[in-house]
């Protein structure tokens, strides 16, 4: 396995180097996506299947689509979209020296670090019995360190508001001249796959309690279904936003916060779940999170305020 | 009840912002004002109970450290909360004038501003290294979209640059968090000092990453290049918050990390280096501020310079320097908010802020010019003002530690600040013929003028309220009382 | 820890170094975002290694941190991409006006 | 004694601060209201100062402490020396306000002017009542800041340049002063102003440090006292409106500097320590050089206000000279000159303002024959000029007499030629002026508008006659001289 | 026995993948590349899935693997079709250079 790991590590490093140095932007983006997949692979090797799922779904998949779509805008704008003059050789040399030093330092540190094995994670594994779920990462995310997760949802919401403020939509409806030539297979793809993908997303959320998966991965898959609908022309961005959509967008963070706040006077601490209710509460939270995450990611993709079904 | 206050101080504005997003323009301005009021009251109650009863701790989820995340409010956090919520409340009042009408953009402004407010409170009460990372990201990602409220066309480049640095800085910080966890096995700020100190190279690397990451986010020279454009082009209320509170929150984090978890691992060379960087920031920022042709850029570069003073704490590291640095943070926060709000009034009235064309402004905008002048006194570090007290403390610390060269930096920095502040005032008082104001916009609503003035007056009043604030702050952590 | 070379540790260091280099030298905002993300991936890899080094099951705390980190990085990047698109739109509009 | 009575210094300070705020708020629109605020503030302050004078004479002490930091207090106290300066300021504030209302009758930005004017008086009062160096510095810088808008009041490019010069000097001086204070606090801890000082015990071990700090402190206050070579701002600042030149530059600001020298020498270091470190003689020499240099420069000035300004440079250093010699008699001379010079110089500036406002006279050659058009003003000018020269029995003579006696007392005989030389030079630059005004044919061709506006004339007459009165009635216990003798008795513990 | 069979199937699958990759790198334009990629990879994936299915312990798992293969094959075929169509209609051979 050492050989395989070494090869994978080498590929990762080479892809990273190529992504940064290759001249063509498109190639850089594609390399980045491949890099994401390779990382996902390496993370399964490192006992982190949850993260591999997340990286493949969000980091490479969703972000990849977004990058490619943005690349189209960049390409259409013409060649002069680069930022000023290229850095001087001095800057390049300094950056090279700096990055080599940084990399060496990190490599040395990672090889010599004396890892403390008496740590919070070990405690988390021991306390799984009180956490209400079997899957340790889910327990950490939704129980032991649920506050982080809650705040992180805020980050998603903020990024969305920022994108909306920019009014730079990226709605992928087939362009007018393309409508006549639309592939007959595309509707098939959308019709067959969307329910399956939705099912899989839901499964991932539900499975999060005992096996790899969870709200984030499930949400990402849900968003993927949405992206597919958008690309297939079944769903489009809209400048108007319905109250329902907004309510769904904030569902996760609101449910999370309200449960936490309501139980605070009873349990004496914010986000402390009463015994017996831990599992149902966590499932409720997880599903509302997944829904909000999926919709937020989808809207980040369309870059619009709202969504509209099957545009005329 | 008091142990719930930190949670409420975070979640009243956060939930308020989220619900503002839900309700949209119809809720403006009543709902944001209700939330602003509630937040301020709650945070002041929190500060009050810390003053009376000492530190407050709340273990989230009821999990004990190191499993759960602690919220802690000690003296330092309480002082920062005080600053944050007083300035935040006043900025809300100002924004009632500037963004009080309904409309999609205003609705988004309020949602983001309330989220930012809550994020800052979350940062100040957090006692967990990784939670601080999330809070930092919350702060950045609500601050950057806020810059866009001024209209994307003007601000998009600045916002993009800001995003690059914010994201990079937080990832550097996150690397530090990871390494810290590797050697310490915990993320609780109170539990990691010892293991870090014994962590060898990894401990040092962790400390370096944490510090550099925060420095990038705090826009310390040479990581400042994103700041002037972002702070200079944002809407006035946002500029005020960014300069007064957002970068300050990073400086707060630097102080906290240095004096608590990293106390055992910091080396004198690093401390001196931080001091030198601070001195460079003071010099560079002030000179740049003096050379700017736009009012808001003058104020923005002034922030670059003023942040340097807080860095002078590190090489001196005595109780006096501690008090001086924190007090400088408070005084600068109040004064800088006043400067930006006053500049915003100028911009509203004149339609631009090109300095050379801002002649004779003291007649139509007497209140704003006066606010600018009062805040300027504090920025220059002249008495009687909060800035002066801070400078006095830092000067005393420089002599106490025998590092007289920092005293020179402080004195020269005061001169440079005077140069750029008086340059602005000179134009404002100038009656001579020359390019004058052509487009005259609406006179700023009284609310906007008076909030600016109130902040200006506060920055003077801070010259007399040292005892209670430093009493709340308490001594340098780890030092003998 | 052994002094045996750990391939993934080296990969993490490489990602960090390359990401840093790209952040400094790249001028195009999109390229810069990519470089930042590569840097971030290095950091995530570091965290995952830390988790992996716990005897027994993998440590869930760094995993949770990475998951949070990925979501934050992706949403920030998505926002950054929206910014880039907006800038290009504005630049085009300016050009159009120039042509009039 | 009730606490309210004890806190008199605070009320005295607040009364002018409140006036300033009220004037700002009343603004340009409500002119009458603003004037009413302004005058009633000035009168009220005068009454309060009178009460305090009476109280201090009875031996009451007025002290207010406002703790800022551990060991760092804002201290306001009204001792006899403080009251000397306060009485001067309070009286002249009222007089100058009346004068300024007439002077600026149709000028723009009056609210701003009177607001900052009141703020300046607040700062002056604070300087007078400061109970330690820290408090002194706070008000000293406040004075700088509040004066700047007055210097640049007209808002032209020329005055902006003057304003910049003013800031360069005063902020620079302030910074040096601050450094001195911090060093001293570091060395000796916070020291309140106490007669005789509290530093004597450090004299042996820290002679070098104490000397350096003394130099820093004297440079800091010397800027405002316009001691050569730190005097450059004063003539430049004459672009300000006449009331500003009169009250601030002739009285408040330079006196704040001179007063600072008195405080440093007497109440921080103490005469004994100053002599022990050989600083007294050095200061006396610098003061003497300033006296001669200022007078010499005055001779060649062709602009009336500039000549008066250089005269101020010269005269203010009498205070420093008197204090530096370290003999009680010389100290009496120096301190009494604080009041005497103030009354005389404000009269001269009032006259200069009246000339400028009535007939547009700025240059000295334009003064020819003006005595016939404006006899009262010119008479007052003559009184002031004679006083400056030191013609007995006018105020200036009293000061110089005591300075001379002090020089003999302190065996500093070289001072006497300085005093004589200065007197001769004073005569050289004032007498030709008087000759022009009274005896030369009229130079200006404007139509005869007679005397100055009563609002300009009456304050001038009041101060001119006061300047004469304090000389004539010097022997009375309530005269400035009598009060200064009280101070010196207390300071020297005689 | 099952192990050997699985190994054989997986190895065969890998060979197809390798062939597909070589085709991707060596073929001149987009259409031939797509051809190589889709054909070879679908077969490769099929073999691979079969190899893993042999090792599976329960029939549910076999079903799941079959479903996975089916979906992947469908997805890649449709994607290939879409790319080819796009290339045809836009007559855009830009990306085929190199």
pLDDT in tens, A82-125: 556 778 889 999 999 999 999 999 999 999 888 888 888 888 98
CA distance B171 to chain C (A): 6
- pLDDT digit of tens for each residue in chain A (312 aa)? 788 999 999 999 999 999 999 988 999 999 999 999 999 999 999 999 989 999 998 888 899 989 998 888 888 877 665 556 778 889 999 999 999 999 999 999 999 888 888 888 888 988 888 888 888 999 999 999 999 999 999 999 999 999 888 877 765 444 434 444 566 777 777 888 888 888 888 988 888 888 888 889 999 999 989 888 887 778 877 777 788 999 999 999 999 999 999 989 988 899 888 888 888 888 899 999 999 999 999 998 888 888 877 654
User: Does the pLDDT at position B7 exceed 70?
Assistant: yes
Domain boundary residue among B266, B281, B300? B266
Bridging pattern class, strands A306-309 and B56-59:
unpaired
Contact A155/B135, CB-based, under 8 Å?
no
User: Does the pLDDT at position B449 exceed 90?
Assistant: yes
Count, residues in chain E: 98
Cβ within 8 Å of residue E3, ≥6 positions away:
E55
Give CA–CA dist B12/B47, Å, rounded. Answer: 16
Contact E71/A193, CB-based, under 8 Å?
yes
Residues B370, B447: one domain? yes
Show me where the domains of chain A are located: 1-76, 132-312
Count of C-beta atoms within a 10 Å radius of residue D275: 17
Would you say B124 and B249 are in contact if contact means Cβ atoms under 8 Å apart? Answer: yes
**How far is CA C16 from its chain centroid?**
9
Q: What value does the mean pLDDT of chain C take?
A: 88
Question: Residues D458-466: what's their mean pLDDT?
Answer: 93
Give CA–CA dist A133/E1, Å, rounded. Answer: 39
Question: Residues E21-31: what's their mean pLDDT?
Answer: 81
Which CATH number does C7-99 carry? 1.10.287.3510
Residues B170, B62: one domain? no
Residues B144, B243: one domain? yes
**Considering its fold, how many domains does chain B have in total?**
3
B218 lies in a domain?
Answer: yes
Quick one: closest CA in E to A27, which residue? E95
Chains C and A touch (3+ CB pairs under 8 A): yes
Give CA–CA dist D327/D265, Å, rounded. Answer: 12
The reply to whether B383 touches chain D by the CB within 8 Å rule is yes
pLDDT of residue D457: 92
- Among C2, C5, C6, C14, most A C-beta atoms within 10 A, so best to mutate, is C14
Quick one: closest CA in A to B7, which residue? A270
Q: Who wins on pLDDT, C18 or E36?
A: C18
pLDDT of residue D290: 95
Cβ within 8 Å of residue E87, ≥6 positions away:
E30, E31, E93, E96
Count, residues in chain D: 494
Residues B75, B170: one domain? no
Q: What share of chain D is helix, strand, coil (3-state, %, to 5)?
A: 75, 5, 20
Quick one: closest CA in C to A24, which residue? C31
Give CA–CA dist D303/D313, Å, rounded. Answer: 15
Instruction: Please state, in angstroms and as integers, the Cα–Cα distance from residue C8 to each residue in A38, A115, A164, B172, following that order.
Output: 12, 16, 39, 19
Would you say B196 and B138 are in contact if contact means Cβ atoms under 8 Å apart? Answer: no
Count of C-beta atoms within a 10 Å radius of residue D70: 12
User: Does the pLDDT at position D70 exceed 80?
Assistant: no
Q: Which domain holds residue B119?
A: 1-126
Give CA–CA dist B101/B92, Å, rounded. Answer: 13
**pLDDT tens digit string along D279-320?**
999 999 999 999 999 999 999 999 999 999 999 999 999 999
Q: Which two tokens stand for residue A48?
A: 């982190």
Give CA–CA dist B112/B104, Å, rounded. Answer: 12
Q: Which two tokens stand for residue A115?
A: 């890892």
Give CA–CA dist D167/A106, Å, rounded. Answer: 53
Residue D240: band (very low, low, confident or very high) from pLDDT cuts 50, 70, 90: confident
Q: Please identify among residues 332-361 of chain B the ones whose CB lies closer than 8 Å to any CB of chain D.
A: 360
Partners of residue B376 in chain D, C-beta under 8 Å: none
Would you say D419 and D350 are in contact if contact means Cβ atoms under 8 Å apart? Answer: no
pLDDT of residue E91: 56
pLDDT of residue B199: 86
Count of C-beta atoms within a 10 Å radius of residue A245: 15
Residues B100, B157: one domain? no
Contact C78/A102, CB-based, under 8 Å?
no
Nearest partner of A71 among C13, D475, C28, judged by Cα = C28
How far apart are the two ends of chain B, measured CA to CA in Å?
30
Alpha helices in chain E (DSSP H): 2-26, 30-55, 59-90
Cα angle: D429, vertex D434, D437; to 5 degrees:
130
Give CA–CA dist D283/B113, Å, rounded. Answer: 60
Burial of B154 (0-12, 13-18, 19+ CB in 10 A): middle
Q: What value does the mean pLDDT of chain D take?
A: 90
Burial of B212 (0-12, 13-18, 19+ CB in 10 A): middle
Chains C and D touch (3+ CB pairs under 8 A): no
Residue C99: band (very low, low, confident or very high) from pLDDT cuts 50, 70, 90: very low
- Among C13, C69, C85, most B C-beta atoms within 10 A, so best to mutate, is C69
As a whole-number percent, the residues of chain D with pLDDT over 90 amount to: 57
D touches which chains (3+ CB pairs under 8 A)? B
Question: Residues D327-355: what's their mean pLDDT?
Answer: 92
Give CA–CA dist D314/B159, Å, rounded. Answer: 60
pLDDT of residue E94: 47
The reply to whether C38 touches chain A by the CB within 8 Å rule is yes
pLDDT of residue C96: 63
As a whole-number percent, the residues of chain E with pLDDT over 90 amount to: 4
A touches which chains (3+ CB pairs under 8 A)? B, C, E
Residue E90: band (very low, low, confident or very high) from pLDDT cuts 50, 70, 90: low
pLDDT of residue B438: 62
**pLDDT tens digit string along B123-149?**
999 999 999 999 999 999 999 999 999
Count, residues in chain B: 481
The reply to whether C94 touches chain A by the CB within 8 Å rule is no
Partners of residue E78 in chain A, C-beta under 8 Å: 185-186, 188-189
Give CA–CA dist D381/D436, Å, rounded. Answer: 12
Instruction: Please state, in angstroms and as integers, the Cα–Cα distance from residue B258 to each residue in B224, B254, B476, C28, following that order.
Output: 21, 6, 11, 35
User: Which of A120, A157, A261 minimises the CB distance to B21?
Assistant: A157
User: Which of C13, C41, C67 minimises the CB distance to A110?
Assistant: C13
Would you say D263 and D198 are in contact if contact means Cβ atoms under 8 Å apart? Answer: no
pLDDT of residue A115: 84
Partners of residue C61 in chain B, C-beta under 8 Å: 181, 187
CB-side exposure of C88: number of CA atoms within 13 Å?
A: 24
> How does DSSP classify residue D363?
B
Positive or negative: CA dihedral C21, C23, C24, C28: positive
Beta strands in A153-294 (DSSP E): 235-238
Give CA–CA dist A50/A137, Å, rounded. Answer: 8
Nearest partner of A253 among A166, A138, A146, judged by Cα = A146
Q: Which residues share a beta bridge with D129?
A: none
User: Which of B122, B186, B200 minimises the CB distance to A120?
Assistant: B186
Give CA–CA dist B334/B80, Å, rounded. Answer: 11
Nearest partner of D272 among D192, D195, D181, D180, judged by Cα = D195
Give CA–CA dist D75/D9, Å, rounded. Answer: 10
The model carries a pTM of: 0.93
**pLDDT tens digit string along B368-422?**
999 999 999 999 999 889 999 999 999 999 999 999 999 999 999 999 999 999 9
Would you say B393 and B446 are in contact if contact means Cβ atoms under 8 Å apart? Answer: no
Location of structure tokens 């100190």: B197
Question: Residues B71-78: what's their mean pLDDT?
Answer: 95
> How does DSSP classify residue A88?
P
Chains B and D touch (3+ CB pairs under 8 A): yes
Burial of D50 (0-12, 13-18, 19+ CB in 10 A): middle
Count, residues in chain C: 100
User: Which of B130, B159, B179 minimises the CB distance to C65?
Assistant: B130
Residues B58, B74: one domain? yes
D218-255 in b/e form (b: 16+ CB < 10 A) is bbbbbbbbbbbebbbbbbbbbbbbbbbbbbbbbbbbbb
Please name the helix (run of DSSP H) or strand (run of DSSP E) that holds residue B473, with its range, or none. Answer: helix B466-473
Count of C-beta atoms within a 10 Å radius of residue A5: 16
Beta strands in chain A (DSSP E): 235-238, 306-309
Nearest partner of A165 among A308, A305, A306, A66, judged by Cα = A305
Q: Which residues share a beta bridge with B73?
A: B56
pLDDT of residue D446: 75
Cα angle: D213, vertex D218, D223; to 5 degrees:
135
Q: What value does the mean pLDDT of chain B take?
A: 92
Location of structure tokens 């309020």: B110
Backbone angles phi, psi at D72, to 5 degrees: -125, 110
B301 lies in a domain?
Answer: no
Q: Please identify among residues 88-107 of chain B the ones whose CB lies closer than 8 Å to any CB of chain A.
A: 105
pLDDT of residue A9: 95
Q: Which two tokens stand for residue D205?
A: 């071990």
> How does DSSP classify residue D244?
I
Would you say D339 and D81 are in contact if contact means Cβ atoms under 8 Å apart? Answer: no
Residue D352: band (very low, low, confident or very high) from pLDDT cuts 50, 70, 90: very high
CB-side exposure of D219: number of CA atoms within 13 Å?
A: 19
């Amino acid at each position: 396995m050492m050989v395989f790991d070494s090869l994978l590590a080498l590929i990762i490093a080479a892809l990273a180097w190529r992504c940064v140095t290759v001249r063509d932007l498109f190639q850089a983006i594609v390399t980045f996506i491949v890099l994401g997949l390779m990382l996902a692979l390496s993370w399964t090797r490192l006992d982190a299947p949850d993260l591999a799922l997340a990286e493949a779904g969000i980091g490479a998949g969703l972000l990849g689509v977004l990058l490619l779509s943005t690349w189209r805008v960049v390409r259409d704008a013409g060649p002069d979209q680069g930022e000023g003059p290229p850095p001087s050789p001095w800057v390049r040399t300094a950056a090279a020296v700096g990055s080599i030093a940084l990399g060496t330092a990190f490599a040395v540190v990672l090889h010599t670090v004396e890892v403390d094995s008496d740590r919070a994670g070990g405690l988390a594994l021991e306390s799984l019995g009180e956490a209400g779920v079997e899957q340790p990462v889910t327990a950490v995310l939704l129980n032991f360190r649920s506050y982080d997760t809650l705040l992180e949802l805020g980050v998603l919401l903020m990024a969305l508001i920022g994108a909306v403020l920019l009014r730079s939509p990226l709605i992928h409806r087939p362009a007018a001249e393309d409508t006549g030539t639309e592939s007959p297979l595309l509707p098939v793809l959308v019709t067959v796959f969307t329910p399956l993908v939705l099912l899989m997303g839901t499964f991932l959320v539900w499975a999060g309690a005992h096996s790899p998966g969870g709200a984030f991965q499930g949400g990402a898959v849900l968003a993927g279904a949405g992206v597919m609908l958008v690309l297939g022309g079944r769903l489009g961005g809209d400048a108007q936003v319905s109250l329902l959509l907004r309510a769904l967008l904030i569902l996760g963070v609101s449910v999370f916060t309200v449960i936490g706040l309501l139980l605070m006077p009873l349990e004496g601490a914010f986000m402390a779940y009463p015994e017996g209710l831990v599992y149902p509460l966590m499932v409720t939270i997880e599903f509302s999170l997944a829904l909000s995450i999926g919709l937020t990611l989808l809207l980040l993709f369309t870059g619009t305020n709202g969504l509209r079904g099957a545009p005329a | 009840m008091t142990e719930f206050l930190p949670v409420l101080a975070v979640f009243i504005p956060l939930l308020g912002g989220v619900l503002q997003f839900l309700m949209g323009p119809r809720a403006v301005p009543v709902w944001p004002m209700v939330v602003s009021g509630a937040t301020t009251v709650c945070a002041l109650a929190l500060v009050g109970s810390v003053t009376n009863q000492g530190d407050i701790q709340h273990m989230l989820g009821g999990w004990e450290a190191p499993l759960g995340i602690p919220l802690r409010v000690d003296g330092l956090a309480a002082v920062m909360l005080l600053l944050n919520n007083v300035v935040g409340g006043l900025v809300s009042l100002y924004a009632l004038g500037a963004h009080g009408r309904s409309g999609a953009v205003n609705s988004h402004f309020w949602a983001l501003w309330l989220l930012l407010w809550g994020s800052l409170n979350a940062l100040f009460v957090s006692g967990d290294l990784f939670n601080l990372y999330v809070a930092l990201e919350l702060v950045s990602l609500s601050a950057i979209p806020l810059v866009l409220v001024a209209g994307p066309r003007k601000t998009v480049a600045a916002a993009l640059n800001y995003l690059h640095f914010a994201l990079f800085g937080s990832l550097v910080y996150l690397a530090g968090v990871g390494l810290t966890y590797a050697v310490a096995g915990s993320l609780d700020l109170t539990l990691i000092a010892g293991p870090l100190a014994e962590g060898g190279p990894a401990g040092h690397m962790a400390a370096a990453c944490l510090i550099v990451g925060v420095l990038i986010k705090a826009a310390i020279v040479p990581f400042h290049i994103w700041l002037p454009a972002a702070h200079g082009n944002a809407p006035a209320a946002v500029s005020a918050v960014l300069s007064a509170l957002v970068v300050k929150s990073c400086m707060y984090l630097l102080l906290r990390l240095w004096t608590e978890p990293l106390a055992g691992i910091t080396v004198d060379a690093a401390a001196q280096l931080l001091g030198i960087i601070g001195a460079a920031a003071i010099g560079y920022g002030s000179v740049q501020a003096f050379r700017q042709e736009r009012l808001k850029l003058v104020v923005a570069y002034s922030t670059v310079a003023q942040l340097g003073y807080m860095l002078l704490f590190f090489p001196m590291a005595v109780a006096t320097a501690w008090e001086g640095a924190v007090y400088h943070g408070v005084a600068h926060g109040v004064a800088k908010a006043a400067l930006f709000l006053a500049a915003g009034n100028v911009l509203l009235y004149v339609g631009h802020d090109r300095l050379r064309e801002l002649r004779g402004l003291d007649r139509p905008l007497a209140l704003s010019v006066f606010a600018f002048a009062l805040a300027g006194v504090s920025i220059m570090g002249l008495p009687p003002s909060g800035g002066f007290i801070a400078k006095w403390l830092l000067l005393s610390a420089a002599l106490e530690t025998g590092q007289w060269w920092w005293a020179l930096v402080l004195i020269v920095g005061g001169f440079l600040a005077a140069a750029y502040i008086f340059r602005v005032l000179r134009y404002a008082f100038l009656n001579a013929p020359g390019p004058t104001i052509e487009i005259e916009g609406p006179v700023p609503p009284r609310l906007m003028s008076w909030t600016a003035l109130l902040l200006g007056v506060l920055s003077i009043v801070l010259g007399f309220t040292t005892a209670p604030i430093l009493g709340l702050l308490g001594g340098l952590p780890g030092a003998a009382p | 820890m052994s002094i045996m070379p750990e391939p993934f540790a080296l990969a993490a260091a490489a990602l960090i170094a390359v990401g840093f280099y790209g952040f400094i030298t790249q001028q195009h905002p999109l390229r810069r975002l990519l470089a930042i993300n590569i840097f971030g991936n290095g950091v995530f890899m570091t965290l995952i290694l830390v988790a992996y080094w716990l005897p027994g099951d993998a440590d869930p705390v760094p995993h949770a941190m990475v998951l949070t980190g990925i979501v934050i990085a992706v949403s920030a990047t998505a926002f950054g991409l929206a910014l880039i698109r907006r800038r290009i739109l504005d630049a085009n509009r300016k050009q159009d006006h120039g042509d009039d | 004694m009730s606490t309210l009575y004890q806190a008199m210094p605070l009320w005295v300070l607040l009364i002018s601060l409140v006036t300033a705020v009220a004037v700002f708020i009343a603004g340009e629109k409500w002119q009458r209201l603003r004037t009413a605020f302004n005058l009633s503030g000035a009168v009220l302050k005068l009454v309060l100062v009178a009460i305090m004078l009476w109280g201090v004479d009875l031996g009451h002490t007025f002290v207010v402490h406002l703790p800022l930091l551990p060991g760092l207090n804002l201290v306001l106290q009204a001792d006899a020396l403080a009251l000397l300066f306060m009485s001067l300021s309070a009286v002249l504030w009222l007089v100058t306000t009346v004068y300024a209302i007439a002077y600026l009758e149709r000028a723009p930005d009056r609210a701003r002017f009177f607001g900052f004017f009141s703020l300046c008086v607040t700062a002056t009062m604070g300087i007078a009542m400061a109970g330690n160096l820290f408090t002194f510095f706070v008000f000293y810088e406040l004075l700088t800041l509040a004066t700047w808008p007055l210097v640049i009041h007209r808002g032209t490019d020329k005055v902006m340049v003057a304003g910049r010069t003013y800031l360069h000097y005063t902020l620079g001086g302030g910074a040096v002063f601050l450094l001195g204070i911090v060093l001293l606090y570091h060395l000796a801890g916070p020291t309140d102003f106490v007669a005789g000082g509290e530093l004597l015990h450090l004299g042996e071990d820290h002679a070098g440090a104490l000397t350096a700090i003394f130099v820093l402190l004297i440079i800091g206050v010397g800027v405002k006292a316009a001691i050569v070579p730190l005097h450059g701002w004063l003539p430049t600042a004459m672009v300000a409106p006449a009331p500003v030149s009169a009250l601030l530059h002739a009285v408040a600001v330079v006196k704040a500097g001179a007063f600072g020298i008195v405080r440093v020498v007497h109440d921080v270091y103490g005469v004994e320590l100053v002599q022990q470190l050989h600083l007294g003689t050095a200061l006396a020499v610098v003061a003497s050089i300033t006296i001669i240099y200022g007078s010499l420069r005055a001779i060649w000035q062709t602009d009336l206000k500039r000549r008066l300004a250089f005269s101020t440079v010269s005269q203010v250093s009498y205070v420093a000279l008197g204090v530096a010699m370290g003999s009680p008699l010389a100290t009496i001379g120096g301190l009494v000159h604080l009041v005497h010079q103030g009354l005389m110089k404000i009269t001269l500036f009032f006259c200069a303002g009246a000339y400028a406002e009535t007939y547009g006279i700025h240059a000295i050659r334009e003064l020819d024959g003006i005595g016939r058009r404006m006899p009262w003003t010119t008479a007052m000018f003559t009184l002031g000029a004679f006083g400056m020269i030191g013609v007995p029995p006018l105020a200036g003579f009293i000061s110089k007499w005591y300075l001379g006696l002090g020089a003999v007392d302190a065996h500093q005989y070289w001072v006497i030629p300085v005093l004589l030389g200065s007197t001769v030079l004073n005569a050289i630059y004032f007498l030709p002026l008087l000759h022009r005004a009274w005896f030369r044919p009229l130079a200006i061709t404007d139509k005869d508008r007679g005397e100055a506006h009563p609002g300009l004339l009456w304050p001038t007459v009041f101060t001119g006659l006061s300047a004469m009165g304090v000389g004539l009635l010097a022997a009375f216990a309530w005269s400035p001289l009598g009060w200064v003798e009280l101070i010196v008795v207390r300071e020297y513990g005689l | 026995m099952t192990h050997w069979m699985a190994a054989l199937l997986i190895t065969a699958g890998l060979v197809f993948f390798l062939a597909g990759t070589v085709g991707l790198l060596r073929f001149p334009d987009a259409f031939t590349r797509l051809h190589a990629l889709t054909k070879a990879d679908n077969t490769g994936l099929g073999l691979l899935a079969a190899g893993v299915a042999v090792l599976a312990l329960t029939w549910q798992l076999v079903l799941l693997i079959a479903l996975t293969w089916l979906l992947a094959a469908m997805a890649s075929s449709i994607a290939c079709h879409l790319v080819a169509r796009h290339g045809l209609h836009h007559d855009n051979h830009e990306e085929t250079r190199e």
